[in-house]
Chain A
Amino acid sequence: MLDKSVKQTLVVTLLLSFCSIVYELTLANTLSILTGNYIWWHSWTIGFYIAGLGFGALKAGKKLNSWRELFWIEIGLSILGSISVVYVHFLYLVFYSYDYMAYMGGEFYTASYIQNSFYMKVFFFVMAQSVTFLIGLLSGFEIPLLMKILKESTGKDHENKVLGFNYIGTLVGTLFFALFFLPKLDVFWTAIIVAGMNLMICLYIVLQRRVKHSPDVLVPSALVFLFLVFMSFKNDKIVETYLKIRYHAHRIITEDKTQFGTFLEHLNRIKPVERIKSLYQYIDVFEVDEKDGTVETIVTMDSNFQFSTLTEKFYHEGFSHVAMNLVGQRPKNILVLGAGDGFLLRELLKYDEIEKITHIELDPEILKLARRDKFKKINKSSLDNPRVNTIVGDGFFYLRNTDEKFDAIFIDFPYPKNYNLARLYSVEFYTYVKARLKPDGFAVLDTPVFEKKSFDKKKYYGQLIDKPIFTIKDLQNNSIILSTIHYSGFTKYLPYKVGGESFVVMRNSDTPFQFDLDKADLSKIESVTDVQLRAISDQYFPYEIKEKYVNSIFHPTILDAGLSQF
């Protein structure tokens, strides 16, 4: 039988490895959520963490011994862990707003230069991963130290048991993180709670009199305790400030050219950003007061722009009516993937020919949002229309497993900024889209494709030229989107742009697309202007069709195309 103090030490081991792995996972997830590149950040973070562990384990046992050192390590971990998430977020703000501010201020070349600046990326990377490494390093000290403690107190080797409990703690930590922390709490709270657990170990060490009670032990623990209490009270405020800066800072700065003091004052006056955490993403809702007194409501998903109440009409009219005119068909049985906000459904329901709309949306929180009174007014309660059958589920899975064939499929997913989303722009996905269309069916896709504009100022007079340079990355991006569609078997496809939003329409039959405005039915179009409609036939989207560009779920090419910052 193990005596009581050995048992307690083993429980401490378990808790410590629990805390360490949760810190690692929290950091990896924070970085992935912020930047959108999951594979990259998860790989690097686990790498630096393990390297830290190894380094710590090598260095431990030389100088360190006894509970006292363990106490200091836990104090260190508690502080590091509790600030790590906040630190990474504000670090990202610096990195992100630097180029964004230049962009919003009209300095396109500077913006593009900074965004592609290797040194900025290196700076962000090093600053972020040094925290991971430090946490790994401190955690690396723990295990050899605990082995030593047990050996000193009992005179026997307990290495196997310490290792065993360490691994169990890691497993429990991972399961807890994946099943509880990540879905139920946000990363900020996770970091604070785990830091609290770490501090409890310190308190255990103190209360069990494993170390002498003296001010140099009691004062730091009290300070860290107060710090954590402060952090947990201020947590919501921190998240709020972060979100405000993230969404409003560039506007405040470019509009007012303010000083830092007035900047903060301005920030305080703004209504807080509402953040909804769903199982799949962070949905942020915030309002911007326009100069003419109207209020614009903007919704983002994982910080990527989703829609604005001021501009959504252009977008959804371009998506529905313009596509229908280009194809020259009126479908009866439609499948809509994504588009949980209900705006696209509102436009589609204007056609009496449409008999049935099957609507698949993954995130129930989006549907809840769209059913709020404020948005119901805008989408005209389209979600509750009897012709619409909304199913909460995975669009890709539905497409793969349904036996039904559709006249038209409308695909409205977030842009492929991370791997989860890149799956929805894959050759596998479009292959199934094609297979589920009737022989004369068509599909419309909302996707980033870039136009090469000539600088004939007269022709574009009055239009905002939002992207002055067509870069090699834009060519790569266009080629990826269109090669992927091409290699999934579509022969007829057309990229087009309406009001700054780009789409691709593809059809199963070989009938040519219809550009003649006189033959088109414009009765349902309210916001998109004739000038914009006429411009479609002149739009030029350079691309190459090559197999190397094809984006597959097993071999994603789309993430390299510069849509994600890393």
Chain B
Amino acid sequence: MDIRSQHMLVDLWFQNELKSSDIENICSVIESDLTVIKKSSHQFEPHGETIVFILGESHFSLHTYPEHNYVTLDVYICNMDVDLHAILEKIVKNLDLLHIERKFLTRGEWEEFDEKNVELSPTQKKASSLLVITFIVAACSIIYELLMAQTLSSTLGDTTFRYNMTIGLYIAAMGIGALCYEKLMKGDKLQNLAKLEGVISIVGGLAPIAVLFGDLVAHWLTKVMGINYFGFFIQTYLSIFCYGIIVLIGFLTGLELPLLMELGKRIKEKYGSIVLSVDYLGTLAGVVAFPIIIFPNFELFSIGFLVAFLNACVALVLYFTNGIKNIKIMIPLILVAVFYLVALINGSTINQFILKKMYYFNL
């Protein structure tokens, strides 16, 4: 049995004087999201109040310091399934705060205790599936990028420059993604991850075709406007268009890793860093597989379909194994997976069609 619990400690400093409605707001979130069994409170003299709830999930406590416009909260939950981050967000939303400090602790972790319960606990199963997912999505992301570098080299030439730019932009965009993570990835982490994988799959799988299309437009512009293809205007347009796609994929990948780490930490604190190293391993697997297995054996656009299909499948596995129930995520994901599967099966027809329309256009 999983004996671990989550413990959230929050310190809130208010903008203005404490109002009783603020405290009521906080308590109402707890009441609506968790199971309150018993309430108890005490008003101190001259000021200060303590509220304690016994919860079905353990306990909640609140202390006010009206003289400092300051409140502390404790939420202790005896399982790992409740999303405390989401609850905190709900609480904070209605408050006018000057500053907030928060700490999330995991209770009940002791290596030696775990070693005594050797059989595969549900936690370990969950952890290994998360690590497998991490490995696959990391490999997928770097393959999208290498595929882009290769497509750019194929259509626009200058392999050296394209690979250098792709790698650098990819790493930088990943960083920006990681920095924006907290702002963009609010709400349920699992649902977010499933959505994100869906988006990455759509963008990454079609990216090579987009490059050809962008080049087609560039040729068209050259003809229509009567300017030099290698001149500033067309080359700037092409760079922004093509490297924009690379940055987008990198950015989305950057959002992905902190999400996975967070999910890992929720299983067990140490899985945070294990997820990180598995992510590196997946990247390594991707860069090794690309030149040796994938690139020599598949047609260019089919590589995109293959990897995107894999990515969409991972998202679906994530969806079904974690009991996410949101039809708005499930249906698009299934559609994306089916789309790429069909595209993959008809790979050579599609490849030839695209080449005919977008590459041999001036034949």
Taking beta carbons and an 8 Å cutoff, which residues of A are in contact with B? 21, 25, 28-29, 32, 38-40, 42-44, 46-48, 50-51, 53-55, 57-58, 160, 163-164, 166-168, 170-171, 173-175, 177-178, 182, 393-394, 396-397, 400-401, 418-420, 423, 428, 431-432, 435, 553-555, 557, 560
Query: Once the chains bind, are A47 and B287 in contact (CB under 8 Å)?
Result: yes
The CA-CA distance from A47 to B176 in the complex, in Å, is 21
Q: Which residues of chain B have C-beta atoms less than 8 A from A40's C-beta?
A: 291
| A51 nearest in chain B by CB position | B284
The answer for the CA separation of A43 and B284 in the assembled complex, in Å, is 9
Report Cα–Cα, A32/B160, bound state, in Å.
Answer: 9
Q: 5 tightest CB-CB pairs across the interface, nearest first? A: A174-B168, A167-B175, A54-B280, A171-B172, A47-B287
| Given known A174-B168, A401-B219, A420-B158, contact A44–B175 (CB-CB < 8 A) | no
Q: Which residues of A contact B175 (CB under 8 A)?
A: 163-164, 166-168, 170
Determine the distance from Cα of A57 to Cα of B261 in the docked complex, in whole angstroms. 15
Q: Once the chains bind, are B172 and A54 in contact (CB under 8 Å)?
A: no
Give the CA-CA distance A119 to B284 in the complex, in Å. Answer: 23
- Distance in angstroms between the alpha carbons of A56 and B169 in the assembled complex: 22
Q: Which residues of A have CB within 8 Å of B277? A: 54-55, 58
Q: How far is the CA of A164 from the CA of B180 in the complex (A)?
A: 10
Task: Kindly provide the distance from the CB of B225 to the nearest chain A CB, expressed in whole angstroms.
Answer: 14
7 cross-chain CB contacts under 8 A? A43-B287, A167-B171, A170-B172, A171-B171, A177-B164, A420-B153, A554-B355
Tell yes or no: B163 within 8 A of A by CB.
yes
Binary CB contact string for chain B from 159 to 181 against chain A (1 if under 8 A, 0 otherwise): 11101110111011011101100
Q: Which residues of A contact B301 (CB under 8 A)?
A: 554
- Given A174-B167, A431-B363, A432-B363, are A50 and B283 also a contact pair (CB < 8 Å)? yes
B residues near A178, Cβ cutoff 8 Å? 161, 164-165, 168
Asked if A38 and B159 make an inter-chain contact with CB atoms under 8 angstroms apart, the answer reads yes
Interface residues on B, range: 35 or more
Contacts of B158 in A (CB 8 A): 420
Chain B positions within 8 Å of A177 at CB level: 164, 168
> If A431-B363, A553-B154 touch, does A174 touch B288 (CB 8 Å cutoff)?
no
Contact A53 B280 (CB under 8 A): yes
Instruction: Answer whether A54 and B157 are a contact pair too, CB < 8 Å, given A164-B179, A167-B172.
Output: no
Among B146, B160, B169, B362, find the residue whose CB has the most chain A CB atoms closer than 10 A. Answer: B160
Please pick, from B154, B176, B363, the residue contacting A435 in the complex, using a CB distance under 8 A. Answer: B363
Please state if A50 and B159 are interface contacts (CB–CB under 8 Å).
no
Query: Within the assembled complex, what's the spacing in Å between the Cα atoms of A178 and B158?
Result: 11
Query: Given the known A-B contacts A47-B284, A50-B284, A167-B174, are A175 and B276 also in contact in the complex, defined by CB atoms under 8 Å?
Result: no
Question: By CB atoms of chain B within 10 A, which of A44, A57, A428, A554 has the most?
Answer: A554
Report yes or no: A58 in contact with B273, Cβ–Cβ below 8 A: yes
B359: interface (CB < 8 Å): yes
A330 to B222, CA, bound (A): 35
Q: What are the residues of chain B within 8 A of A435 when measuring CB–CB? A: 363
Contact of A43 among B146, B222, B280 (CB under 8 A): B146
Most buried by A among B167, B229, B355: B167
Q: Is B300 an interface residue (CB 8 A)?
A: yes
In the bound complex, residues from chain A placing their C-beta under 8 Å from that of B171 are 21, 167, 170-171, 174
**In the complex, what residues of B have CB within 8 A of residue A54's CB?**
276-277, 279-281
Residue from B169, B283, B288 in contact with A171 in the complex, judged by beta carbons closer than 8 Å: B169
A38-B159, A420-B159 known; 20 new pairs, CB 8 Å cut-off, are A39-B159, A39-B290, A42-B149, A46-B167, A50-B284, A54-B279, A164-B179, A174-B167, A177-B168, A178-B168, A182-B161, A393-B230, A401-B229, A419-B159, A420-B157, A428-B359, A431-B363, A554-B154, A554-B355, A557-B296
User: Pick the contact of B168 from A53, A170, A420 — CB < 8 Å?
Assistant: A170
Q: Would you call B287 and A46 a contact (CB within 8 A)?
A: yes
Taking a contact as CB atoms under 8 Å apart, the answer to whether B287 and A555 are in contact is: no
Residues from chain B with Cβ under 8 Å of A43 in the complex: 146, 287-288, 290-291
Contacts of B355 in A (CB 8 A): 554
